[in-house]
Structure 1
């Protein structure tokens, strides 16, 4: 069955990280994504050696962009496309002769998606950077980490993928929707710094209304409380608790045997969080992760074990939903979100060479 984006054609200029992630999302749901690669890059075709999940479901054209004939071919492809995605530094596409002015003249309905760290303008626009730098400048990185400790970056999920690729995928589809109504394409300037900032919108709300201290590990959602944090278990594994609402907190106290301790009635008193966390820490250490699962699974405590990459695919909930799948011998996340009428096709790792 075709995906929800069947009929959409996207030209992708090969890159790493957020651009491929955006195009993976589009391709997962049925878009025809043609990826332009440099010639002779090994291990991309067929199942053998093709292990980049971000590049799944692609058609590939090999073009040497230094060859004028390649530029002509790109312009031919773009004339029939709905969108392009590129992740070069500002000015590179213009120097190649395929910047927005040229390609929008060829195809006025074209959506020109641009993925960068700092954006297309501003004093830092031409500079190199990575996820860690973009989330640092946005203010997001400052909020991640334990009290009194250094900032802890969440691998490259916030800049590259949430604030980068997913933002670009949204921007491209929003602009395609506009082009379908107006007949006019446009440039989508997706910057990871902007994306990391907007992912922190709720934190900025709390900060603005005075309920968030501008320091790490002392707030409601950053590990400052005893009821919203991770805890080590007796076997060296971990569990997560998120018992914010009173009814969920009451279940936590009941299942842990803490309901008779009057100090735990001070749930929302920040001055009590430190001592109460020490008590919860000591208690959780008395049982294994599986023992706590037996106690808390199936309740509204807002509980889950902290699973490793090796463990997550086989958890009963993930298995029931098909959250992960295996393709070409590799375990990978399946397409998301889910569509009731046009479910995503089963992805394939093997790229196909487009004639």
Structure 2
């Protein structure tokens, strides 16, 4: 039997249907803050070994054959005890399996049914395949990313999959749970990565349409400006410069000992100013520049590798990372005052499903049939 977890979502029960990264990320966001998340894997995918993937932390897992009538019936029993289902199939797949929103609301009208896809539940692209880069492309976001004169460059798969998808789905779950307190009924959430990616760029749409935001790589915040870019240091490392405001710029150039610089307010002077800064930053190592800017408001920071970030003094002081087994990983965010330390242990198989509505006898029968791992 799964023990009660601590956190603001303590008591919220989530069934997470196994899928690619955005689904587990949404489940992780909920588990991080106390939800009891049960991941439903394929039968063959479950073993006695804990799942060490960071996005499976704090969860339990079982293997269930959802292509069998017995597996579907068992899933409906689990859903009867759940508050949330996270589903990441293409539109129509859950309905064909018999576990769509109507199927599950028939056994639990309070259930929040969270659906996440790339293109959404409707529209001409809904039935087609895609990946993060495609959703960014169609949302207009990808056209904004990259350096001047270069091709559009996706930032790995962060904006579509994780921010536009998983995080938006977790947010939608919270909205639906909040509304359920008033209505007593669960909502169906249509979380589309193409929608979420577009929403993340809300502040830029007016600028693009009004002409205030130019082609990619030529603007203040997209590496066009010399005061918002990265520069190589003498040892082949990099520093990040974000000295946008006058007082921060003054602090930077003063500590660097630079004078007679081109006017940073004149866009025509940006290439010459970038060249001066690049030459100056190449004169010292990254560590030396860290010492120069230590304690200042110059907004110059070292570009750290992920292993380096774990040991940076600021992150250490805040306890921003924790080691679970052999894996360093970020602590849950945001932080809530008075919250107890979260359970970040690797996901383990849940054998006793009594609290989820399946008796030991039912579970054993399903195991003997090969329906339950």
The question of whether the paired residues in 2 share the 8 Å contact of 1:139 and 1:197 is answered with yes
The question of whether the paired residues in 2 share the 8 Å contact of 1:65 and 1:71 is answered with yes
Task: Write the mapping of 1:50-199 to structure 2, written as runs, cut at 5 A.
Answer: 50-199=51-200
Who is 1:345 aligned against? 342
Distance 2:347 2:128 in 1: 34
Determine which of 22, 43, 58 is the counterpart of 2:26. 22
Q: Which runs of 5+ in 2 are unaligned?
A: 353-373
Who is 2:40 aligned against? 36
The question of whether the paired residues in 2 share the 8 Å contact of 1:22 and 1:166 is answered with yes
Query: Structure 1, residues 62-84: CA drift from partner, whole Å, max 9, x if none?
Result: 21011111111111111121110
Q: Which runs of 5+ in 1 are unaligned?
A: none
Distance 1:204 1:250 in 2: 31
Query: Structure 1, residues 201-226: CA drift from partner, whole Å, max 9, x if none?
Result: 1222332443211x211001000001
Who is 2:313 aligned against? 316
**TM-score (normalised: structure 2):** 0.90
Who is 2:11 aligned against? 7
- For the residue of structure 2 that corresponds to 1:60, the secondary structure is strand
- For the residue of structure 2 that corresponds to 1:133, the secondary structure is helix
Shift of 1:157: 0.7
Who is 2:367 aligned against? none
The question of whether the paired residues in 1 share the 8 Å contact of 2:40 and 2:62 is answered with yes
Aligned residues: 348
The question of whether the paired residues in 2 share the 8 Å contact of 1:46 and 1:351 is answered with yes
Determine which of 331, 342, 349 is the counterpart of 2:328. 331
The question of whether the paired residues in 1 share the 8 Å contact of 2:60 and 2:347 is answered with no
Aligned-residue Cα RMSD (Å) equals: 1.4
- For the residue of structure 1 that corresponds to 2:106, the secondary structure is helix
Query: Structure 1, residues 110-168: CA drift from partner, whole Å, max 9, x if none?
Result: 11100100110000001111111111111111111111011111111111101110010
